[in-house]
Homo-oligomer: A and B are copies of this chain.
Amino acid sequence: MARSYGQYCPVALATEILGERWTMLVVVALSDGASRFNDLLRALPRISATMLSQRLRSLEEAGVVVRVRESGSNSGHAYRLTDAGRGLEPIITDLANWGQRWARDLEPDDLDPRFLGWSVHLRMNVEAMPKGRTVLQFEFPDGPRDCRRFWIIVVDGVVDMCIKPPGHAIDLLVTSQLQRFVDVWRGFRPLRAELDAGRIRLEGAPALQRSFPNWLLLSSAAHVERCRPGRERSVRLRAARTKRSR
């Protein structure tokens, strides 16, 4: 269980549970619709099963999550947000917008394509896509060795994502530098300009290529304007930083 702050303060009580590492991100993943243990593992590619299990347990104890036997053919359990958990959704939105505005710049290690793939597949504009099956492959030649690509499969409006070849013919191949595609996804560069300049490249039927820019809804905070100044820091901080990383 989370360590207490020894205060009745409602922010302290809320933070006791929500402030633990990973907890908020598990809530986000649940809020985004993941409900099975393995879906949560896919939504949070760098969490360990042990950690996820512990966090789900704490959230259950805190009354934020319930674990229910999955009805239907599918055996096993599903995790769902309770009313208390859904009460966190406005806070999550505000945190996301705050992060978009003010959080630190990205480092190369923050660009996990598995997480990107999960995000993209949650926000596909299926209305704008062809009927039947469409298979997209995203390819990032400069990405980490073991996960340079992912696939998104849309069948009649149902979107799935995988990090192993899906065994279907590819309808559209999207190739880009990872950082550049993430910038587009975050709303910091217009997709159109990147396509026109050939920095994000498409291969596939011309009709699909033409339609593709309408398929991506982008990050849900992409519309929020970034306010954080550039990378410059005060001398004092730079000195302290250097010193500590001796």
A residues near B, CB below 8 A?
Answer: 3-25, 28, 45-46, 57, 60-64, 83-84, 87-88, 90-92, 94-104, 106-107, 109-112, 115-116, 119, 182, 185-186, 219, 221, 227-229, 233, 237, 240-241
When the two chains form their complex, are residues B110 and A8 in contact, meaning their CB atoms are under 8 A apart? yes
Kindly list chain B residues whose C-beta atoms are within 8 Å of the C-beta of A60.
237
A233–B63 Cα distance when bound, in Å, is 9
The oligomer's copy count stands at 2
A237–B22 Cα distance when bound, in Å, is 21
A94–B91 Cα distance when bound, in Å, is 7
Out of B13, B46, B98, which one reaches A99, CB within 8 Å?
B13
When the two chains form their complex, are residues A15 and B10 in contact, meaning their CB atoms are under 8 A apart? no
A185–B17 Cα distance when bound, in Å, is 22
A101–B91 Cα distance when bound, in Å, is 14
User: Please, could you name 12 A-B residue pairs with CB atoms under 8 Å apart, sorted by A?
Assistant: A4-B110, A8-B182, A9-B115, A9-B119, A10-B219, A11-B99, A13-B103, A14-B95, A19-B19, A61-B233, A62-B103, A94-B94
